[in-house]
Amino acid sequence: MAEAFARAYGSDVLWVQSAGLSPASIVQPLTKQTLAERKVDIGGQFPKGLEMLSREQFDLVINMSGEFFQFPSGQMVEWKVRDPIGQSPETYRAVAQQIEGLVMRLIMESRGMK
């Protein structure tokens, strides 16, 4: 969700890649539905493991897993976000709202509009 929001709203200031510690095999249908309700297209996004991005250089790495891990580059920031997988559509919507707010704050900070 975070990658989709960042691409939709902040492509002028952010270059975004998303990966996980234990990626799912597919983008969850409720994730697609929740983003579609917000008119956010996930395009060709698919779940990726961190190893797919280990050679990339990042200025900022956002950890939403709640688990400790080290990444070769970038300042690490933690966002405490509930994992909605297996939960209700309402939970997906609440998580999407939280992530959207966090992403928008990051975009505004990146644009110098704190």
Q: Across residues 2-18, what is the average pLDDT?
A: 93
Domain boundary assignment for the chain: 2-110
Residue 4: both structure tokens together:
């989709």
What's the pTM value of the predicted model, to 2 decimals?
A: 0.88
CA–CA separation, 93 vs 35, rounded Å?
A: 9
Identify whether the C-beta of residue 103 lies closer than 8 Å to the C-beta of residue 81.
no
The pLDDT tens digits for 56-104 are: 888 888 989 877 777 767 788 999 999 999 999 999 999 999 999 999 9
Higher pLDDT, 22 or 2: 2
Q: Which CATH class is domain 2-110?
A: alpha beta
Rounding to the nearest 10 degrees, give the CA dihedral for residues 21, 23, 27, 32.
Answer: -20
Instruction: Give residue 67's pLDDT.
Output: 77
Higher pLDDT, 55 or 64: 64
Nearest C-alpha neighbor of 1 from the set 112, 85, 110: 85
